[in-house]
């Protein structure tokens, strides 16, 4: 019998003799997991440092001993084998670990030889058991933020187990599909889709299974949900194969979307610390005194709290907010343990950090004991990303002893994809003590299907909210005292279709009527027109003064008496700077109505606080009022907005002031406010808000202000739209030249215009032009602020690097970084380019240290989730890949990709996915590499990108074609490249990074081809190009390129049997490679590299042998893997070529034997060898591939 059971997949569970064991602390659980999954004993000192990094060695050791004592008390003293130096699991202990079972079962399916899993009941059973063991993510809910190394290890384990689970789900769903077990296929495909919603293969499997099972509606819904997710998340449309599935059951209903109309994703931004919180948005509304009780819906909401999300989705006026407020009120009176938090949303909440600021405030207002680090972060001067405060909130909420219910009302106003992704993140990591309720007019782009499949979603829709006949009767006769007959009620119910707001408007219109029958019978047609009529009836029954008040104040999203008086010019001189004092002022002429009086008149006005100071109109009523105002008095609308803008500015509400100025088309005031607050808002990361405002400003208005022109160009350059900056820079220069000035703003604009022109030039691979602009900017250098000086030097360093002046570039980047530090600013791009240049000169470890330091600083500043860190994370993943540390490379590639959703730069997105593609290729995951490079390639097509990134994607694509034997595409690419090159007997033009990358890939292609056809002359062409590349790399000191160049030279000389030259190149290569830890660029050469190293290891200089042996060990099982030229077949013999030619003529084995005067058995042997060397499965494939690579003519 097993003594101990450790369950690490999902929330950790530890059992001893079948009984659950409680661990004293989280760290004790984490420590036990770490030790139990280690394959060998671990150093006590290392463990103490790992889990207590902030303590000195003495205290860390003491803490470690206490944790170890706690573990031994919980699981017994026989499980761990301990010495004074190390500790590990006793191999004689009977311990069952779910991760070991999961991995063993998963690997058994891979190693079991059969044609299809569907034909193997054993493998199907193993997959089912393995998947059942996966209760959740690795150590789910266990977070040790104070232990970064453990956190990193945990993330790597989590990702690896997720990848294994995805592979298992894919195999099992395919097996069930082959066996026509559609219900099981649907269940497993649902799990697969839930794990990776953007995996099109998973989505296609689920859609196909639904179609085959006869659930066509479900298939169509799944397709539409996936299409929306794909469009909103990454801006793509489904592949043709997916579309074809739906066209089988719904022909011509699905079309490709026109990408030309796509808008770039909104950017994550920071709320200004100076903006006050509008407390009315956090007000939990009280239900009216008289209300129709809806016990069935409230019971459904009670049941919904068992899951993560309740969504109440219905058109306006269906009573969504009323239902929630009644439910909360009822539960509060019953001493329910929930803490209820409310956030009313409006269009201004589309700035992610404003949203997060209010979200945090809602929680803190209603949970007195709740105190989050998020407030400090949001009020800092650093730009942040949505997931950072959400992660903090999740951890803080989990610590609370009470259950929390968070209501997000009017969620339909949220259109920013970054916020949707943040809420998705929250739902995916939601603590068990938290439940979210979303009220919305339309379904948001959240993972509803996944939550539905996991039983984590409760849905209340219009059909649930419509009044029944009994409820309609109670509403009209009991609440409004109308005493209508059953026939009259039935008629109104039919006309309104149970729409509560419509019934309310009808009731108001009927209250003072005597001709009730005639009034009701006159209505006919769809409820849209009836509601318009009823609204007009309700409005027309008011006095002229009230009607005018309602119409003119309808331009406001939220109202208080002081604001209303100001825009109506009842008290135009009000200058009070305290918005609460202003709002609560009661000096209102009696002849003018008050907002509280409108509420008492049931005129669709909603209080936003308990003090009855702030209100808003019912959305439908506001729409009607605005429509009537536009028809009646269109000229007064901009005047009203201008007055509102002035009131908000006087009272410190900058964003509201600018919004109303723009609505008024008061361009001068809007421009003044935007330029004045631009730096503050940009420093606070409010790029989305700024971009929205700029979009609303006419270009001719922008072109009147040189400062605004420069600011637009600056924000476009930061948002990845640098190709759009020239017109704004031209106009800024033109305006300044007509009015020369030495004012601070003029100096700054002139400096930034030159800097931004230099930045664009260097991005377009025109470094000489970039240096011209930076020299121009140096004129203003003494007057520049430190931050501008650092940016100028960064652009200059980039240009020098592109010119091959690597030493000067390093010095310039270092100087730029030092100046930025003096200025107290963290400029991510400077750190990244400093590291990238160190990598170029062979300082691989120093480059890694620079990037990890930069990411550490970002974490210290609370901006470790900032989107434009993706560039640095991508380059760090490339460095780990070069050192063959694939787990860490994958970790940073995935981080980079996740952050690109928040920073829509095509260059950064393409770089991140290219990094992932190369890692997947190194892991022999050809499908994953192909998917990643396709995403990168989509970014570079029809877009202006830096030449380096464009070429990086291109050569990686060729690398993947090699792995997939796609010789048609390879030949097309290589032919095009060779046609653009001078003959090998002529000197090459200037060799930049792009030409170097293409030539090296061409040489790899030629080596691969020569292994097939033995056209040795091709090797000499390779050597000619490699000699040019070596001369260039040596001249500029680009040592990382020399490693690859020298190794390729050594490989070719070895193939030519020039052993002395081969060893000479190999030793020079290893001399550079060993200090930097370069491995991958050698390993990707595959079998030829292994043969070279293993054959020459005893002949090379002894000081290089250890590293050569290390490289041989790194090959492991990969030396024969299907990766680039690693899988190049052995040379095809002359006899095999004869057999191949006869196969191409269609000869049978017997006829070939007769033709060559050999036995039929010998021919079978040669055919078998041919198929193996060509890596194909049958004769037809052998002939096709031989023609593709030139072994056979067409």
- Which CATH architecture best describes the domain 1-179? Orthogonal Bundle (1.10)
* CATH 1.10.10.10 is right for the domain spanning 1134-1188: yes
- CB 807 within 8 Å of CB 850: no
Q: What confidence score (pLDDT) does residue 1051 get?
A: 94
Question: Angle CA(250)–CA(253)–CA(254) in degrees, nearest 5?
Answer: 110
Q: How far apart are the first and last CA of the chain?
A: 68
Helix (H, G, I), strand (E, B) or coil at 403: strand
Could you tell me the CATH superfamily of domain 279-465?
P-loop containing nucleotide triphosphate hydrolases (3.40.50.300)
Would the pLDDT of 796 be above 90? yes
Percent of the chain with pLDDT strictly greater than 70: 84
Please determine whether the domains at 1-179 and 1134-1188 fall in the same fold group of CATH.
Answer: yes
Provide CATH code, domain 826-942.
1.25.40.10
Q: Write down the mean pLDDT value for the chain.
A: 80
Confidence bin at 366 (pLDDT 50/70/90): confident
Q: What is the mean pLDDT of residues 708-722?
A: 84
Q: What is the mean pLDDT of residues 299-307?
A: 90
Q: What confidence score (pLDDT) does residue 919 get?
A: 93
Out of 66-70, 381-385, 792-796, 1185-1189, least confident range: 381-385
What is the rounded CA–CA span in Å between residue 584 and residue 586?
6
Top pLDDT among 671 and 142 is at 671
**Per-residue pLDDT tens digits for 512-561:** 677 788 777 764 333 344 456 445 655 776 778 888 898 999 999 888 88
Top pLDDT among 291 and 43 is at 43
**Per-residue pLDDT tens digits for 911-944:** 999 999 999 999 888 888 998 999 899 887 756 6
> Of all helices (H) and strands (E), which one includes residue 460?
strand 457-461
Would the pLDDT of 1000 be above 80? yes
Q: At 362, list the tokens.
A: 């809602």
**Per-residue pLDDT tens digits for 570-591:** 654 444 444 443 444 444 443 4
Furthest C-alpha separation in the chain? 118
Measured over the CA atoms of residue 170, residue 175, residue 178 and residue 182, the dihedral's sign is: negative
- CB 348 within 8 Å of CB 688: no
Q: What confidence score (pLDDT) does residue 644 get?
A: 94
Q: At 1173, list the tokens.
A: 């060397």
DSSP state letters, 383-396: ---THHHHHHHHHH
Confidence bin at 1049 (pLDDT 50/70/90): very high
Would the pLDDT of 715 be above 50? yes
Residues 6+ apart with CB under 8 A from 129: 101, 105
Strands 4-7 vs 95-97: parallel, antiparallel or unpaired = parallel
Sorted by where each begins, the domain ranges of the chain are 1-179, 198-255, 279-465, 467-541, 542-634, 706-805, 826-942, 1003-1127, 1134-1188
- CB 1085 within 8 Å of CB 1044: no
Q: What is the mean pLDDT of residues 972-994?
A: 78
Q: What confidence score (pLDDT) does residue 1074 get?
A: 92
Other beta carbons less than 10 A from residue 1084's beta carbon: 23
**Per-residue pLDDT tens digits for 480-515:** 888 888 888 888 777 666 777 778 777 877 776 777
Q: What confidence score (pLDDT) does residue 523 get?
A: 46
**Per-residue pLDDT tens digits for 236-287:** 678 777 888 877 765 443 333 333 333 323 333 333 444 567 777 888 887 7
- CB 732 within 8 Å of CB 749: yes
Confidence bin at 382 (pLDDT 50/70/90): very low
Q: What confidence score (pLDDT) does residue 1131 get?
A: 62
Q: What is the mean pLDDT of residues 7-26?
A: 84
Q: What is the mean pLDDT of residues 1031-1053?
A: 93
Q: Is 552 exposed, middle or buried (0-12, 13-18, 19+ CB in 10 A)?
A: buried
**Per-residue pLDDT tens digits for 1086-1103:** 888 888 998 898 889 999
Q: What confidence score (pLDDT) does residue 582 get?
A: 41
Confidence bin at 637 (pLDDT 50/70/90): very high
Top pLDDT among 836 and 271 is at 836
């Amino acid at each position: 019998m097993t003594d101990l059971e450790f369950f690490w997949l999902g929330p950790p569970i530890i059992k001893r003799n079948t009984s659950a064991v409680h661990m004293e602390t989280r760290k004790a659980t984490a420590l036990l997991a770490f030790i139990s999954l280690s394959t060998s004993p671990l150093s006590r000192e290392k463990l103490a440092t790992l889990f207590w990094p902030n303590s000195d060695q003495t205290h860390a050791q003491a803490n470690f001993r206490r944790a170890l004592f706690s573990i031994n008390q919980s699981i017994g003293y026989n499980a761990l084998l301990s010495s004074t130096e190390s500790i590990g699991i006793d191999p004689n202990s009977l311990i069952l670990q779910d991760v070991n079972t999961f991995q063993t079962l998963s690997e058994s399916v891979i190693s079991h030889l059969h044609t299809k899993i569907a034909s193997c009941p054993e493998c199907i059973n193993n997959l089912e058991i393995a998947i059942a063991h996966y209760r959740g993510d690795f150590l789910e809910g266990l977070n040790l933020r104070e232990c970064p190394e453990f956190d990193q290890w945990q993330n790597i384990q989590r990702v690896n187990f997720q990848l294994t689970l995805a592979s298992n789900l894919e195999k099992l769903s395919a097996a069930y599909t082959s066996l026509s077990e559609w219900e099981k296929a649907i269940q497993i495909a649902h799990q697969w889709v839930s794990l990776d919603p953007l995996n099109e293969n998973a989505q296609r499997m689920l859609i196909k299974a639904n179609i085959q099972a006869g659930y066509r509606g479900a298939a169509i819904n799944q397709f539409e949900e996936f299409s929306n997710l794909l469009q909103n998340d990454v801006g793509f449309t489904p592949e043709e194969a997916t579309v074809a599935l739906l066209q089988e059951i719904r022909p011509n209903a699905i079309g490709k979307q026109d990408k030309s109309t796509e808008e770039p994703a909104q950017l994550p931004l920071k709320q200004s610390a100076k903006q006050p919180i509008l407390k009315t948005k956090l007000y939990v509304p009280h239900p009216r005194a008289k209300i129709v009780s809806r016990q069935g819906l409230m019971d459904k909401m009670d049941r919904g709290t068992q899951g993560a999300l309740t969504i109440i989705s219905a058109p306006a006026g269906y009573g969504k907010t009323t239902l929630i407020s009644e439910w909360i009120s009822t539960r509060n009176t019953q001493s329910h343990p929930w803490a209820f938090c409310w956030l009313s949303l409006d269009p201004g909440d589309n700035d992610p950090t404003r949203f997060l600021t209010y979200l945090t405030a809602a929680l803190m207002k209603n949970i007195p004991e709740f105190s989050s680090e998020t407030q400090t972060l949001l009020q800092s001067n650093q730009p942040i990303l949505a997931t950072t405060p959400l992660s903090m909130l999740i951890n803080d909420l989990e610590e609370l002893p009470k259950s929390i219910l968070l209501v997000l009302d009017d969620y339909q106003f949220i259109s920013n994809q970054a916020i949707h992704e943040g809420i998705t993140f929250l739902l995916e990591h939601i603590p068990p003590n938290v439940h979210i309720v979303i009220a919305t007019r339309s379904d948001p782009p959240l993972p509803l299907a996944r939550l539905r499949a996991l039983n984590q979603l409760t849905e209340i829709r219009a059909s649930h909210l419509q009044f029944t006949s009994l409820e309609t009767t109670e509403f009209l006769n009991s609440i409004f005292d109308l005493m209508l007959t059953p026939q009259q009620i039935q008629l109104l119910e039919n006309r309104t279709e149970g729409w509560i707001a419509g019934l309310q408007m009808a009731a108001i219109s009927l209250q003072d009527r005597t001709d009730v029958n005639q009034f009701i019978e006159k209505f006919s047609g769809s409820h849209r027109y009836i509601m318009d009529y009823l609204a007009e009836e309700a409005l027309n029954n008011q006095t002229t003064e009230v009607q005018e008040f309602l119409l003119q104040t309808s331009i406001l999203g939220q109202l208080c008496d002081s604001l209303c008086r100001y825009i109506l010019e009842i008290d135009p001189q009000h200058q009070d700077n305290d918005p609460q004092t202003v709002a609560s002022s009661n000096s209102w002429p009696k002849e003018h109505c008050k907002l509280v009086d409108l509420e008492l008149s049931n005129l669709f006005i909603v209080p936003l606080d308990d003090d009855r100071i702030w209100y808003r109109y019912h959305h439908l009523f506001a729409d009607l009022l605005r429509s009537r105002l536009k028809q009646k008095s269109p000229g007064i609308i901009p005047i009203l907005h201008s007055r509102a803008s002035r009131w908000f500015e006087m009272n410190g509400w900058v964003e509201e002031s600018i919004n109303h100025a723009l609505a008024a088309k008061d361009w001068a005031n809007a421009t003044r406010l935007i330029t004045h607050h631009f730096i503050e808002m940009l420093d606070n990361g409010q790029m989305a808000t700024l971009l929205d405002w700029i979009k609303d400003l006419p270009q001719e208005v922008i072109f009147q202000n040189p400062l605004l022109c420069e600011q637009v160009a600056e924000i476009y350059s930061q948002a990845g739209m640098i190709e759009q900056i020239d017109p704004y820079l031209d106009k800024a220069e033109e305006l300044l030249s007509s009015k020369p000035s030495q004012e601070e703003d003029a100096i700054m604009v002139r400096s930034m215009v030159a800097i931004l022109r230099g930045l664009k030039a260097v991005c377009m691979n025109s470094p000489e032009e970039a240096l011209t602009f930076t020299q121009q900017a140096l004129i203003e250098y003494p007057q520049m602020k430190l931050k501008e000086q650092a940016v100028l030097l960064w652009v200059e360093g980039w240009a020098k690097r592109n010119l091959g002046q690597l030493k000067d570039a390093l010095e310039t980047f270092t100087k730029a970084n030092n100046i930025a530090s003096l200025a107290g600013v963290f400029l991510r791009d400077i750190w990244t380019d400093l590291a990238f240049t160190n990598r170029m000169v062979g300082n691989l470890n120093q480059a890694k240290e620079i990037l990890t330091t930069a990411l550490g600083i970002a974490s210290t500043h609370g901006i470790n989730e900032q989107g434009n860190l993706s560039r640095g994370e991508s380059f760090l993943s490339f460095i780990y890949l070069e050192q063959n540390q694939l787990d860490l490379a994958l970790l940073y590639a995935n981080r980079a990709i996740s952050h690109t959703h928040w920073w829509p730069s095509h260059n950064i997105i393409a770089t991140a996915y290219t990094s992932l593609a190369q890692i997947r290729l190194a892991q022999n995951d050809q499908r994953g590499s192909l998917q990643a490079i396709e995403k990168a390639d989509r970014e570079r097509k029809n877009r202006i990108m830096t030449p380096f990134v464009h070429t990086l994607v291109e050569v990686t694509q060729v690398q993947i074609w090699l792995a997939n034997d796609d010789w048609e595409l390879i030949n097309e690419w290589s032919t095009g490249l060779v046609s653009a090159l001078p003959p090998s007997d002529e000197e090459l033009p200037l060799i930049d990074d792009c030409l170097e990358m293409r030539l090296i890939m061409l040489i790899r292609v030629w080596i691969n081809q020569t292994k097939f056809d033995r056209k040795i002359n091709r090797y000499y062409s390779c050597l000619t190009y490699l000699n040019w590349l070596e001369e260039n790399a040596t001249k500029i000191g680009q040592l990382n390129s020399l490693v690859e160049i020298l190794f390729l030279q050594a490989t070719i000389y070895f193939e030519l049997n020039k052993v002395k030259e081969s060893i000479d190149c190999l030793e020079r290569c290893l001399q550079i490679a060993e200090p930097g830890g370069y491995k991958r660029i050698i390993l990707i050469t595959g079998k030829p590299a292994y043969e070279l190293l293993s054959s020459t290891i005893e002949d090379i200089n002894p000081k290089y042998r250890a590293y050569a042996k290390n490289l041989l060990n790194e090959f492991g099982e990969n030396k024969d893997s299907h990766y680039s030229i690693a899988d190049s077949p052995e040379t095809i013999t002359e006899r095999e070529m004869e057999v191949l030619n006869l196969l191409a003529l269609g000869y049978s084995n017997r006829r070939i034997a007769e033709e060559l005067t050999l036995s039929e058995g010998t021919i079978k042997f040669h055919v078998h060898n041919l198929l193996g060397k060509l890596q194909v499965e049958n004769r037809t494939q052998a002939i096709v591939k031989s023609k593709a690579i030139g072994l056979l003519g067409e």
